Amino acid sequence: MTTWRIRDFHSADLDGILHLWESLKATNVEPVYALSEVLASCEKDHAVVAVQGDQVVGAAVGRAAHDQGWIVFLATLPEYRGRGIGTSLLAAVENRMAPHGLNKLSALMPESETRVEAFLSRGFVLKKNLRYFERTIPVQRQELEPLGLLGGRILARDLWENVAGMRNEKELLERRLVLPLAEADLADEFGVVPPRAVVLFGPPGTGKTTFAKAIASRLEWPFVEVFPSRLAADPKGLAGALRETFLEIAELEHAVVFIDEVEEIASQRSGEPPSPLQGVTNELLKIIPAFREQPGRLLVCATNFIRALDTAFLRHGRFDYVIPIGLPDSEARRAMWERFIPATVVDDVDVELLVDRTEGFSPADIEYAARSASQRALEKAVYDDGGLASGGDVSIREAVRKGPATQDYLDAIGDTRTTVSKEVYELFLEDIDALGRV
Ligand SMILES: Nc1ncnc2c1ncn2[C@@H]1O[C@H](COP(=O)(O)OP(=O)(O)O)[C@@H](O)[C@H]1O
Ligand SMILES: [Mg+2]
């Protein structure tokens, strides 16, 4: 019987590496590095194999990063263990990495790692009391380019938490959208078909765009907004550009696709001669069923004016849910005021009074009132209360330090014209009955 020897890795050894990988898995060892990473390192970094005859019986794969080298894979077939192969493999891969001038060589191994001896005999020290943390980055490198071309981006991770109040809407979206999409396997076990497309409707400024982004953030999926008005300038025409955009979106692994003010391209098809937008509406009606067949993405359409939408557009089968986003209740308004009032003064402001006085205000109205109160208070403190007159930066800063007071907010509220009139809100309530689907 020939004996084993160590040599450099060749591409022809990939099958052998796969076999080693499977033999590890078969003994219930969960390797730290993914197979794709190990294979990439075999080709690009440093790898040695132990062979007996033609058979790969062991392998060590390393990767150098600045001053530190990492062993990303070490495996020996079970029937070859206990012969010092692991120790030799470690020595060989270390030699290969030596020209990098490493000052530390590390290995992160599963807890069930049995070749502790191999590491110890190569001078490694087993570190106690360490913890391994891992987070999967949701977007893969190869997706970044198509995502960039689409103007898509990864949003901050805390947008969902930052949606103040709106508890009912949040709970509904969490249950109907986020749960089945984020826990796709579990949903499948329960026979839940994950949603693919939803409409958010409600008066302007109630937070539809905010929610669309928050959903993307919550799912950790890229956010891709489709702007029909920008596509209109495309030489292929709006319908053609829309089709092309959705083909590009199909290349992405995951995405929340957002079309705001969708009534602009999906309004009632009527009139003689037909509106030039009719072709676009038809195109969108064709795009949605195809979009629905691809997992891992969600189309969110928003509209301020749902009754203007083409009836075919809202028909069952295109959109899973048609969700109203209404004006904030008192709890939501309180949360928003607490968010918008600077932390340094919030305790001195009568927030409950502001909450009362802003019934019927949209989040956008509240934000506007809060900002203008802050601006006024700042101007008043600096120019009117003697800050500048008495001279000196110190006194300005002292005056400003007081911040806005309840009266500043009440004044600003009094001067804010609410965006959503009573009439518009009544129509919205009718729309919920007639068209809402949750
Ligand atoms: N629940 C919320 N908490 C905090 N700010 C909000 C909330 N909803 C909306 N806003 C703010 O109000 C403004 C309008 O919201 P937006 O999502 O653009 O409304 P819509 O898309 O329905 O017209 C934005 O500046 C947004 O940051
Ligand atoms: Mg909007």
Q: Report which protein residue has its CA nearest ligand 1's atom 27.
A: 210
Q: Report which protein residue has its CA nearest ligand 1's atom 20.
A: 205
Which pLDDT score is estimated for 48?
Answer: 97
Angle at CA 85, nearest 5°, toward 82 and 88?
135
Centre of ligand 1 to C-alpha 249, Å, is: 26
Which pLDDT score is estimated for 38?
Answer: 93
Nearest to 262 by CA among 170, 214, 320, 197: 197
pLDDT single digits (tens) 96-112: 998 888 889 999 888 87
Which pLDDT score is estimated for 132?
Answer: 85
Contact 355, 337 (CB under 8 A): yes
Strand duo 68-76 + 223-225: pairing? unpaired
Q: Give residue 151's region: left, alpha or beta (phi > 0; psi -120 to 50).
A: left
Nearest to 262 by CA among 214, 234, 288, 227: 227
Strand duo 297-303 + 68-76: pairing? unpaired
Which pLDDT score is estimated for 115?
Answer: 78
Q: Which domains does the chain possess?
A: 5-121 (3.40.630.30), 148-324 (3.40.50.300), 330-419 (1.10.8.60)
167 lines ligand 1 (CB under 6 A): no
Residue whose structure tokens are 């030699």: 95
Contact 203, 327 (CB under 8 A): yes
Q: What span, in angstroms and rounded, lies between the C-alpha atoms of 174 and 70?
A: 40
pTM: 0.74
Centre of ligand 1 to C-alpha 329, Å, is: 14
* 37: Cβ contacts below 8 Å, ≥ 6 apart: 72
Helices (H) and strands (E) in the chain, counts: 20, 10
Q: What span, in angstroms and rounded, lies between the C-alpha atoms of 216 and 210?
A: 10
Q: How many CB atoms lie within 10 A of CB 7?
A: 11
Centre of ligand 2 to C-alpha 356, Å, is: 25
**H or E stretch covering 58:** strand 55-65
367 lines ligand 1 (CB under 6 A): yes
pLDDT average per 10 residues of sequence, the chain (438 residues): 88 94 87 90 95 95 92 92 92 91 89 82 89 78 82 90 89 95 93 95 93 95 90 82 91 93 80 69 89 93 91 85 93 91 93 96 93 93 67 55 88 93 93 91
User: Residue 69 pairs with which residues in a beta bridge?
Assistant: 64, 105
Q: Which atom of ligand 1 is nearest to the CA of 203?
A: 22
Centre of ligand 1 to C-alpha 419, Å, is: 13
Contact 240, 233 (CB under 8 A): no
Which pLDDT score is estimated for 30?
Answer: 83
Q: Which ligand is nearest to the CA of 162?
A: 1
Q: What span, in angstroms and rounded, lies between the C-alpha atoms of 251 and 191?
A: 27
Substitution candidate for ligand 1 out of 174, 210, 211 with most atoms within 8 A of CB = 210
Q: Report which protein residue has its CA nearest ligand 1's atom 25.
A: 364
Which pLDDT score is estimated for 368?
Answer: 95
Q: What span, in angstroms and rounded, lies between the C-alpha atoms of 349 and 285?
A: 51
Which pLDDT score is estimated for 81?
Answer: 87
Centre of ligand 2 to C-alpha 213, Å, is: 10
Strand duo 5-8 + 46-52: pairing? antiparallel
Q: What span, in angstroms and rounded, lies between the C-alpha atoms of 385 and 404?
A: 13
300 lines ligand 1 (CB under 6 A): no
